[in-house]
Protein backbone atom coordinates (compact mmCIF):
# COMPACT_ATOMS: atom_id res chain seq x y z
CA UNK A 1 0.00 0.00 0.00
CA UNK A 2 2.77 2.42 0.92
CA UNK A 3 4.37 2.29 -2.51
CA UNK A 4 1.12 2.97 -4.38
CA UNK A 5 -0.24 5.48 -1.85
CA UNK A 6 2.61 7.96 -2.27
CA UNK A 7 1.94 8.22 -6.02
CA UNK A 8 -1.77 9.01 -5.67
CA UNK A 9 -3.07 12.57 -5.78
CA UNK A 10 -4.90 13.79 -2.68
CA UNK A 11 -8.24 13.54 -4.49
CA UNK A 12 -7.46 9.93 -5.50
CA UNK A 13 -6.52 9.12 -1.90
CA UNK A 14 -9.81 10.58 -0.68
CA UNK A 15 -11.74 8.65 -3.33
CA UNK A 16 -10.02 5.43 -2.27
CA UNK A 17 -11.00 6.06 1.35
CA UNK A 18 -14.61 6.81 0.37
CA UNK A 19 -14.97 3.76 -1.89
CA UNK A 20 -12.86 1.08 -0.21
CA UNK A 21 -12.67 2.03 3.46
CA UNK A 22 -15.91 3.83 4.29
CA UNK A 23 -17.82 2.14 1.43
CA UNK A 24 -19.99 5.10 0.42
CA UNK A 25 -23.29 3.76 -0.88
CA UNK A 26 -23.42 6.37 -3.65
CA UNK A 27 -20.92 4.29 -5.63
CA UNK A 28 -23.44 1.46 -5.83
CA UNK A 29 -25.94 3.65 -7.67
CA UNK A 30 -26.02 5.00 -11.18
CA UNK A 31 -24.77 8.58 -11.13
CA UNK A 32 -23.21 8.08 -7.72
CA UNK A 33 -19.70 8.88 -8.88
CA UNK A 34 -20.89 12.20 -10.30
CA UNK A 35 -22.70 12.99 -7.05
CA UNK A 36 -19.55 12.20 -5.08
CA UNK A 37 -17.47 14.47 -7.34
CA UNK A 38 -19.96 17.33 -6.96
CA UNK A 39 -19.86 17.03 -3.17
CA UNK A 40 -16.08 16.65 -3.18
CA UNK A 41 -15.72 19.83 -5.24
CA UNK A 42 -17.65 21.62 -2.48
CA UNK A 43 -14.96 20.61 0.02
CA UNK A 44 -16.40 17.46 1.56
CA UNK A 45 -14.43 14.33 2.49
CA UNK A 46 -10.84 15.61 2.40
CA UNK A 47 -9.58 12.70 4.48
CA UNK A 48 -5.95 12.86 3.36
CA UNK A 49 -5.49 16.59 3.98
CA UNK A 50 -8.12 17.79 6.46
CA UNK A 51 -7.59 16.76 10.08
CA UNK A 52 -11.27 17.10 11.03
CA UNK A 53 -12.35 14.80 8.18
CA UNK A 54 -9.52 12.36 8.92
CA UNK A 55 -10.44 12.17 12.62
CA UNK A 56 -14.10 11.59 11.76
CA UNK A 57 -13.11 8.69 9.48
CA UNK A 58 -10.67 7.32 12.05
CA UNK A 59 -13.20 7.43 14.89
CA UNK A 60 -15.72 5.48 12.81
CA UNK A 61 -13.20 2.71 12.20
CA UNK A 62 -11.15 2.35 15.37
CA UNK A 63 -13.98 1.53 17.78
CA UNK A 64 -12.45 0.31 21.05
CA UNK A 65 -9.03 -0.14 19.52
CA UNK A 66 -5.94 1.97 19.97
CA UNK A 67 -3.06 3.14 17.84
CA UNK A 68 0.31 4.35 19.01
CA UNK A 69 1.21 7.55 17.14
CA UNK A 70 4.52 9.34 17.49
CA UNK A 71 5.00 12.93 16.40
CA UNK A 72 8.51 13.89 15.32
CA UNK A 73 9.93 17.19 14.14
CA UNK A 74 8.77 16.65 10.55
CA UNK A 75 6.85 13.35 10.58
CA UNK A 76 4.11 11.29 12.17
CA UNK A 77 4.51 7.57 12.73
CA UNK A 78 2.43 4.62 13.88
CA UNK A 79 4.20 1.50 15.11
CA UNK A 80 1.44 -0.38 16.90
CA UNK A 81 -2.29 -0.99 16.48
CA UNK A 82 -4.46 -2.71 19.06
CA UNK A 83 -7.98 -4.02 18.59
CA UNK A 84 -8.48 -4.20 22.35
CA UNK A 85 -7.35 -7.83 22.53
CA UNK A 86 -4.05 -8.07 20.72
CA UNK A 87 -1.39 -5.62 19.60
CA UNK A 88 -0.04 -5.72 16.06
CA UNK A 89 3.23 -4.11 15.05
CA UNK A 90 3.02 -1.86 11.98
CA UNK A 91 5.31 0.65 10.33
CA UNK A 92 3.44 3.64 8.90
CA UNK A 93 5.06 7.04 8.33
CA UNK A 94 3.79 10.33 6.93
CA UNK A 95 4.55 14.02 6.95
CA UNK A 96 0.96 14.84 7.98
CA UNK A 97 -1.40 13.38 10.56
CA UNK A 98 -4.43 13.16 8.21
CA UNK A 99 -2.38 11.17 5.70
CA UNK A 100 -1.14 8.85 8.45
CA UNK A 101 -4.70 8.28 9.68
CA UNK A 102 -5.70 7.30 6.13
CA UNK A 103 -2.92 4.70 6.01
CA UNK A 104 -4.08 3.30 9.34
CA UNK A 105 -7.69 3.21 8.11
CA UNK A 106 -6.73 1.23 5.01
CA UNK A 107 -4.83 -1.25 7.17
CA UNK A 108 -7.77 -1.63 9.57
CA UNK A 109 -10.19 -2.25 6.70
CA UNK A 110 -8.20 -5.25 5.38
Do 67 and 81 contact (CB within 8 A), yes or no? yes
Give the DSSP H/E element, type plus range, for residue 105. helix 97-109
Do 55 and 95 contact (CB within 8 A), yes or no? no
pLDDT at 2: 53
Q: Give the structural domain span for 55.
A: 2-109
> Whole-number mean pLDDT of the chain?
93
Do 14 and 42 contact (CB within 8 A), yes or no? no
- pLDDT tens digit string along 24-50? 999 999 999 999 999 999 999 999 999
> Distance (Å, rounded) from C-alpha 50 to C-alpha 102?
11
pLDDT at 82: 87
Compute, in degrees rounded to 10, the torsion defined by CA atoms 10, 45, 1, 60. 160
In the chain, how many domains are there?
Answer: 1
Predicted structure pTM score: 0.91
Q: Which residues of the chain have pLDDT under 50?
A: none
CATH number, domain containing residue 12: 3.30.2120.10
Q: Which of 54, 75, 78, 76 is nearest to 66 (CA)?
A: 78
Amino acid sequence: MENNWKFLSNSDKDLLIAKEVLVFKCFQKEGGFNWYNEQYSLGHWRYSTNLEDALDMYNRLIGDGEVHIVMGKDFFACDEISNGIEKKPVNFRSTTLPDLLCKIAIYLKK
